Structures are given as C-alpha cells and as structure tokens.
A = this chain, B = another copy of it.
Amino acid sequence: MTTYQAYFSKTDHKRILPPSWGHGPFPAKLEQNLALLDPNHMITMGSGTPNKDFFSVKNITVNHSIDLHYQKDAKDSHINSFYIGEKVKQSDVQKADSKIEELFEYADNTFGSYSTIDLVKKLTKKFEIFKDYKSNNFSEEDYDYCVTSGTSASSYYLCQLLLDDTKTILVEELTFTVIMGNVSMTGANVVPFNVNLNANDENGENPIDTKYLENLLKNWSTIHPKKPFPLVFYTIPVQNPTGLVQKIQHKREIYDILKKYKILVMEDDPYGYLTLTDDLKSNCDFNDKASFESQKQIYFSALKKTGSYLSIDTEGLVIRCESFSKIFGTGLRLGFIIGPKKIIDRVKNYIECSTREISGLSMTVFNQCCQGMDKLLCQNLKTNDIEQLDGWVQWCINLCVLHRHKQKVLYKELTENPVYASKRLFTCIKPTFGMFLFIGLNLNEFKSEALKSPQALTEAMQYMDYKLLENNLDAIIGTRLIVDINHSFKKSGFIRVTTSQIKNDKELAEAARRICTSIEQFFDEYLTKKQPYPVLL
C-alpha cells in the first residue's frame, strides 16, 4: 500500500504549519561549511523558550512503588526515590493542600481543575486585568475562564470555534505563524493588517497602522470583493516579532474601530507580564516589605500602561489568551482563556469533545508552586503580612529584571558594534517589553536590489539566514514571520532574535558579534562576485 490518501479527510491537506523555525534549503557548499561547525557552540536565538535560568522549580523528587496495598497500609511499600534537576538540601518539607488524586486522576473538568481555574481568576484579579472596565452592555460577570494546555491549544480551539471557509480573520502582517496553521485548517481567509514599524516609546505612535485598518474595513468590499467581511481580529499586543507594544491608548484606538463592525478581538498575550522598564531595581533580593511594595507598585504601573483589551471591552468582543510558558515553563503546557461566557462555553465543549488533554500533574505542580512562592516571599521579607500571590508578583518582577538585563546587554553590544554605529547596516527596535529584539536590515540604502520584488527579498533573506548559520547562530529571518510576502515584502528584511536561551553576558556579547559579522558579510557578499554559493528556495 503506497498511499493512504483515499482514507484521509478531504481537508487534511489544509493542515500546514508555516515552519518559522526552519532553515534551508542549502546549497551543497554551504552544507559542507555548516557540517564543520561545532553544534555545541551554536548560539540559539530563534526559540523563545526560556532556559533553565528561568525555572522556579529546581528539583522534583518522585517516590514511587510497584507494590499495591489494597486493604493494607500503603506505607509498607518499598519506595524508590529519584529526583530530576539539581540536588537540593531539603528541609522542612511541607504537605501541600493538593491531593495526589489531582495528579493522577482525571481532573474535575476537562477544561481545567477547579483549583486551577480558581488560581487563574485570582491572578486576573490581582493583576487588575479588568480594572478600567465599565459598561452597561456587558459586565465583568459575563466573562468566563477556561484552562488550556497553552496558547497553541487556545488559539487552535478558538480558530476551530470561530472560523470556517465562510469566515475571514485579520492578522498582523508580521506575526507568530503558528496562527496561520490554525487558520489554514479551518479553510478561513486570512487578511493581514499593517504594523507601524516607526512606532516607539518616544513618539507614542500606535504600532498598528490604524489608518490602514480603518480604510480596510470601510472599503472592504472593494479591496477584498471575494472575501467575507472579517469577524475576528488576531493580535499579539506585545508584538511578536517586532517587540513593539500596544499601550492602552493604542488598544482603545483599535478597539473603537473594531467595535463599529462588531469584530471580535483575539488578544494573544504571552509576553504581557514581561516589562523591561528601567524603573525596576536591578537587585531584587529585598528583605523588607516596604521595598517589595514599592517595586510591586512600579511593576503594576508599568503593566497598566499596556493593560488588556478586556479592560476596555464595553461590548463583549474580547477574548484574551494567556500562557504560563514564558513565565513559568513551556513544558508544562499550561495557559488559559478569558472571554464572553457564551464563547468560553463552546471552547469548553470543544475540549470535552476532542482531546481532553490537560495534564493534572502540570496543573497541580504549577498551582502549588504559586502558593509556595508566597512562603518564599514571606521568608525573604521576614513577615507573614503579604497579600495572597505576592510571591508570584515577586517572581514575575525577578523575571522582568533578568530579561531586561539580557536584552540591554544585547542591545548595547549590537549598537556599539561598528556595523551598526558607523556602517549603519541595520537598525534595532529598542525592546521595552517581552523577549524579542527586532533587527532591521538597511536594505533600502545598501542593498536596494533586495527590495525590488517579493522574490528578490525572499532570496536576500535566505542568504542572510545562510550567513547567520555560517556564523553558528540560529535566529529567525523576517520572511518566515509574515502572513503574505506580497503584502509585506518591504517590511520583511529583518531578523528576530531572543536572548532567552543565552547563558551569560559573555555569550550575549559573542551573539552580538556573530550577528554583526553575519550582517556585514551579507551586505558585503550578496549579489556580488564574492557570493560563494547560490541561494536556494
């Protein structure tokens, strides 16, 4: 039997994930060069998964048995004990208030255990996600919560719920392309909307081109005569890949446009808690409550500048996806959705009818770690007088400070390098939130042939990727982070890097050096006689 095509669903061919983290194809000569590199010395700046410096959990110890003691005392068991992680000196091990059934039996709900949903609600309240919320049409009580196995799952479910081949979704022209896979399998249309790469903290411009958006919707039937009017707007408000941030006033501008057309907002916000504000102190090892409280206020006020679409949703149009991937651990597969009850009901139904997949072990360990963080903070501050989940706040602040440090070092190293400082071969968007740094190539000035056509740009960026790889550095090129090359090729001449896998300042400096070298080589060689091999697509 050579093929099973006849057995497959007629929509199976639509299940395609654009491989943003892929590389190649490679010409033979480059393959040879790459084979000579030491994989242990590769610097990974492609994947946003935090490395173990960012784990709260240092050690998990498991005590288990092969004995069963029905009607006997289970304590008779022979126990085998192993640990994963660092060897730690345990003292004063406290019994958690979760039962072992929460780890190993079905959760009370397929859409999240009650205790996890409760935790998620408390976090939402603590971070005042709904703070500015006022509406007579739709009240905070009209929203509901649903735990998922992370934002990949959340956006998959939401696309399954909200899209089909008679629907259209709007997506930022530069984006995390997993959403494209989610959309593609529903058969829906994707239409990109423009980002504004000129936006920054100083000029206060909206990182979404609202004029473009307004015009697009107003003249939809002329611009896209064959596509249904969009009912969903997907956005990553701490933008991936640009790192640009929608402040709350920008969100208002966008919401006001969408509201007129009753378009749902799907807010995918995995980086929303990672502010890089300079106002936070570098040394977070506080031992008094006043210092903590002051940092907490600084942190909360930094977050409030961006806020959530939920806080301005007067019409019940917003669905927010959060994830603990970037702030606790990607491997847990844990996140949640907040949205209008009637939408969440259908998401819950989808989970119930489909994978029912959320790990009880993941939920419960996360849950208990959140509680444990309060104990750790109490120890640090030498008081029991803290608010519930302040430990989690301290944890988030610590993450921010570490991310800020790494981003700053990288930014400094990049911008002090002559390739930037004197040759001006690239620009950087200075990151203020999140974990990405956007490096725009100065093609316009120094390699304008690359901007002639989508094809020319794609080839140029493929060559850029070759250079990065030859310098033993893994990053993501712009052409792999876009919705439509024809729409966005003039904005696709960039590299997205992240510091989350980088171990220390020395490696950051080395990373910057390799990036600059690669860029220099690109401009020096590409489309000249020096180019040693052709570009393959």
Contact = CB atoms under 8 A, between A and B. Distances in A.
As for how many copies of this chain the complex holds, the number is 2
Interface in A227-270: 231-232, 264
A407 interface: no
B68 A63 contact: no
A141 B134 CA distance: 62
Interface stretch (A5-13, A116-124, A189-197): A5-13
Given A66-B391, A88-B63, A402-B68, A52 B95 contact: no
Interface in A66-105: 66-71, 74-75, 77-96, 98-105
A395 interface: yes
A493 interface: no
A11 B167 CA distance: 12
Given A78-B379, A332-B104, A62 B65 contact: no
A17 B103 CA distance: 25
A453 interface: no
B369 A64 contact: yes
Contacts of A451: none
Interface stretch (A156-164, A413-421, A459-467, A482-490): A156-164
A301 to B, nearest CB: 21
Contacts of A454: none
Interface in A162-176: 162-164, 166-167
Contacts of A185: 353-354
A447 to B, nearest CB: 34
B80 A376 contact: yes
B84 A90 contact: no
A478 interface: no
Given A350-B15, A353-B181, A402-B70, A63 B61 contact: yes
Interface residues of A, number: 140
Contacts of A293: none
A146 to B, nearest CB: 13
A515 interface: no
Contacts of A340: 1, 4
A61 B93 contact: yes
Given A83-B96, A355-B152, A359-B331, A70 B405 contact: yes
Interface stretch (A341-349, A426-434, A520-528, A529-537): A341-349
Contacts of A77: 58
Most buried by B among A63, A91, A160, A360: A63
Given A56-B66, A57-B63, A64-B376, 13 more contacts: A4-B346, A8-B162, A52-B100, A53-B68, A58-B65, A66-B391, A70-B406, A75-B86, A150-B356, A153-B356, A157-B355, A331-B361, A359-B359
Interface of A: 1, 3-4, 6-12, 15-17, 47, 49-71, 74-75, 77-96, 98-107, 137-138, 149-150, 152-153, 156-157, 160-164, 166-167, 181-182, 184-186, 231-232, 264, 285, 315-316, 328-333, 340, 342-343, 346, 349-350, 352-362, 364-365, 368-369, 372-373, 375-377, 379-380, 391, 394-395, 398-399, 401-402, 405-406, 504-505
9 contacts: A7-B343, A9-B161, A54-B68, A55-B100, A56-B66, A64-B376, A66-B377, A152-B354, A152-B355
